[in-house]
Amino acid sequence: MIELKTPAEIQRMHVTGRFVAEVLSEVGRLADVGVNLLDLEHHVRGMIKRRGAESCYWDYAPSFGRGPFRNVICLSVNDAVLHGLPHDYTLRDGDVLSADLAVSIDGWVADSARTVVVGTAAEEDLRIIRATEEALEAAIEVARPGNRLGDISAAIWAVAHDHGYPVNTEFGGHGIGRTMHEGPHVSNKGRAGRGLTLRPGLTLALEPWFARTTDRIVYDPDGWTIRSADGSRTAHSEHTVAITEDAPLVLTRRESENPATRADSAGRLSAKDA
Question: Is 238 labelled as part of a ligand binding site?
Answer: yes
Q: What letter does residue 260 receive in the DSSP assignment?
A: G
d(CA 9, CA 75): 29
Length of the chain: 274
Question: Is 207 labelled as part of a ligand binding site?
Answer: yes
d(CA 117, CA 128): 11
Question: Is 174 labelled as part of a ligand binding site?
Answer: yes
Return the closest-CA partner of residue 18 out of 242, 247, 251, 257: 251
Question: Is 83 labelled as part of a ligand binding site?
Answer: yes
Return the closest-CA partner of residue 241 out of 65, 13, 40, 62: 13
Cβ proximity of 250 and 264 under 8 Å: no
Residue 263's CB: how many other CB atoms inside 10 A? 13
d(CA 263, CA 163): 20
Return the closest-CA partner of residue 124 out of 33, 226, 238, 213: 213
Question: Is 43 labelled as part of a ligand binding site?
Answer: no
Residue list, annotated binding site for a divalent metal cation: 100, 111, 174, 207, 238
Q: Give the residue numbers of the binding site.
A: 83, 100, 111, 174, 181, 207, 238
Residue list, annotated binding site for substrate: 83, 181
